[in-house]
């Protein structure tokens, strides 16, 4: 089988030529065969285009490299999943992962990077327990399902002021946020995975501590970390497999955890132990490290943003050029580059047909979230532009077949 490699599924030599020379070819036997349309080139290893919102697609060459290392990592005679997290072998893995992430985001030296467990949802509790005392006020901007859950959890530990609320289709202007003068921090979600709304710049909250959930657009674009007090992101959407949550926290915010909080929810404990107070999610951290390394070789986050903008343009153009057959419910000014919801407003019964026929054509996980319905295409970093182009072509053909 000939492998067609996009920017996201191939390494790059300095000359710009694609290469996978250091990745051995591995035969994979699929347990479920998904038919591919005749108009589409076969994907490596019989893979499909996976538009899942998370866990989500990973770069093929990262998976190939991980597969090659699975049984015997770099001649150690052990898998990453078997070796001690206290040993020098895994220490080199987690240290390189942190170093590469720092290089990608240009993280200032007065910020700590943590690889934690419990998902981003655990951060909903960890943040107020570390950054605010009982009775103090914190500001939350609610723009969708995830920021709403974060605010609800914070109410258990402190006074929560809802500074602004969105309508799941647009974002409230920062100038209209009703922030508390003495709030301990301002929390917002940079990209709402379900609704598909995304902030296009960092909100200016003055000298307040800005906290952001970036689970679904982390490392998809350049970011000025110095404008934030704390950034957190579950890895399973844009970074790696489920199991690890990345936290970037400014040093002055560490060491203030409430004494009644569980030990595992104290940032200071994890900083003092280099993210290894207990056994970390070694395999997930290893995969994240491979992704960070790959992005650096591809040109960093400026290059990644450019490609993500190109992919999103293909999909939004397909919606706009459908003469109303498809509709995007989101304000064009804040449409996400990562998660694209769309509907068939004139014939909603066709949406289930669309999802089923797309599956037959090798495009999976296009069903919208159960809370909103419709369809949703998640086009994270690892989604090659060929996948988005195939979806756009399918959309056009489906509309032509079913338009009244």
Residue 397's contacts (CB-CB under 8 Å, 6 or more residues apart) are: none
**CA–CA gap between residue 57 and residue 84 (Å, rounded):** 28
283 catalytically annotated: no
- Which three-class secondary structure string do you get for 198-254? ECCCCCCCCCCCEEEECCCCCCCCCCCHHHCCEEEEECCCCCCCCCCEEEEEEHHHC
User: Cβ atoms within 10 A of the Cβ of 274, count?
Assistant: 17
305: which 2 tokens? 């943003």
Cβ(163)–Cβ(177) below 8 Å = yes
Cβ(377)–Cβ(391) below 8 Å = yes
Cβ(385)–Cβ(307) below 8 Å = yes
Cα separation values, 98 from 103, 271, 387, Å: 9, 13, 30
Strand intervals (E) in 108-229: 111-116, 137-142, 159-165, 186-189, 191-192, 197-198, 210-213
Residue 285, φ and ψ in degrees, nearest 5: -65, -40
Q: Which of 73, 112, 146, 283 is catalytic?
A: 146
Residue 37's contacts (CB-CB under 8 Å, 6 or more residues apart) are: 361, 362, 394
146 catalytically annotated: yes
The sheet carrying 210-213 orders its strands as 111-116, 245-250, 230-234, 210-213, 186-189, 137-142, 159-165
Q: Which of 112, 237, 294, 367 is catalytic?
A: 237
Q: Mind telling me the catalytic residues?
A: 146, 213, 237
């Amino acid at each position: 089988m000939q492998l067609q490699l996009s920017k996201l599924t191939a390494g790059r030599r300095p000359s710009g030529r694609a290469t996978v020379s250091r990745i051995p070819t591995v035969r994979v036997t699929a347990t479920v065969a998904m038919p591919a349309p005749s108009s589409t080139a076969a994907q490596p290893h019989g893979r499909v285009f996976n538009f899942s919102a998370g866990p989500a697609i990973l770069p093929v060459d990262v998976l190939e490299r991980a597969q090659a290392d699975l049984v015997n990592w770099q001649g150690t005679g052990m898998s990453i999943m078997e070796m001690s997290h206290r040993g020098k072998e895994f220490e080199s893995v987690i240290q390189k992962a942190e170093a590469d992430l720092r290089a990608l985001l240009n993280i200032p030296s007065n910020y700590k990077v943590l690889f934690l467990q419990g998902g981003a949802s655990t951060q909903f509790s960890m943040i107020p327990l570390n950054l605010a005392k009982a009775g103090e006020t914190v500001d939350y901007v609610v723009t969708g399902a995830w920021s709403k859950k974060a605010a609800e959890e914070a109410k258990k530990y402190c006074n929560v002021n809802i500074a602004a609320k969105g309508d799941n289709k647009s974002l409230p202007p920062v100038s209209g946020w009703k922030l508390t003068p003495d709030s301990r921090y301002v929390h917002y979600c940079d990209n709402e995975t379900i609704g598909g709304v995304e902030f296009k710049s960092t909100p200016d909250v003055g000298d307040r501590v800005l906290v952001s959930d970036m689970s679904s657009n982390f490392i998809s674009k350049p970011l000025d970390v110095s404008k934030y007090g704390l950034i957190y992101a579950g890895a399973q959407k844009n970074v790696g497999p489920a199991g690890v949550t990345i936290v970037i926290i400014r040093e002055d915010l560490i060491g203030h955890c409430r004494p009644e909080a569980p030990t595992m929810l104290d940032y200071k404990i994890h900083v003092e132990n280099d993210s290894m107070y207990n056994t970390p999610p070694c395999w997930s951290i290893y995969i994240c490290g491979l992704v960070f390394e790959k992005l650096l070789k591809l040109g960093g986050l400026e290059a990644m943003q450019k490609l993500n903008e190109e992919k999103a343009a293909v999909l939004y153009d397909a919606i706009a050029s459908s003469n109303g057959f498809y509709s995007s419910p989101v304000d064009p000014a804040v449409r996400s580059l990562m998660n694209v919801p769309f509907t068939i407003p004139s014939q909603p019964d066709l949406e289930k047909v669309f999802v089923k026929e797309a599956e037959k054509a090798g495009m999976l996980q296009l069903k919208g979230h159960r809370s909103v319905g419709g369809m949703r295409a998640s086009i994270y970093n690892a989604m090659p532009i060929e996948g988005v182009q195939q979806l756009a072509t399918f959309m056009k053909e489906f509309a032509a077949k079913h338009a009244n």
